[in-house]
Amino acid sequence: ALAAALTAAAIALADAGIEMYDLVVGCGLSRALGPEPTWLLDPTLLEEERAAAGLTVALMPVLNQVAGLLGSGEGGPTESWAEAVRLGLEGCQRLYPVLQQCLVRAARRRGAATPP
């Protein structure tokens, strides 16, 4: 939920015309339980509830800067957490063009609705 809130807040600010250095894009991950635990990107509520660990990554993709990183639970060895951070950063990078398209479409709709 935190990852979605971060992304939604950034989109709302950009849509309102507030200048920012970059959009903040958030991604959430959960580490599944089991014999071979794996990190799940954008887990469902049930997957989050059953997880041994969780991680939220917030990235400013154009600046390539991490804006936030919050982890909790038993994520395993350091390498496991490093893998989760890498997956989260990749998820944020993949989501960024989608957010850009949404902002462009919203701006076009506003422009089309404005009388000459």
Using one digit for the tens of pLDDT, what is the confidence trace for 12-28? 999 999 999 999 999 99
pLDDT, tens digit, for every residue of 58-104? 999 999 999 999 999 987 888 899 999 999 999 999 999 999 999 99
pTM, rounded to two decimals: 0.88
Cα distance between residue 42 and residue 47, in whole Å: 9
Strand ranges of the sheet holding 65-73, from the earlier edge strand across to the other edge: 39-41, 25-31, 53-60, 65-73
Domain map (residue ranges) of the chain? 2-106
Which band of pLDDT confidence, cut at 50, 70 and 90, is reported for residue 116? low
pLDDT for residue 68: 97
pLDDT, tens digit, for every residue of 28-50? 999 988 888 899 999 999 999 99
Residue 64 carries which DSSP code?
A: T
Instruction: For the domain covering 2-106, report its CATH number.
Output: 3.30.230.70
Cα distance between residue 100 and residue 111, in whole Å: 17
Which band of pLDDT confidence, cut at 50, 70 and 90, is reported for residue 113? low
Cα distance between residue 28 and residue 54, in whole Å: 7
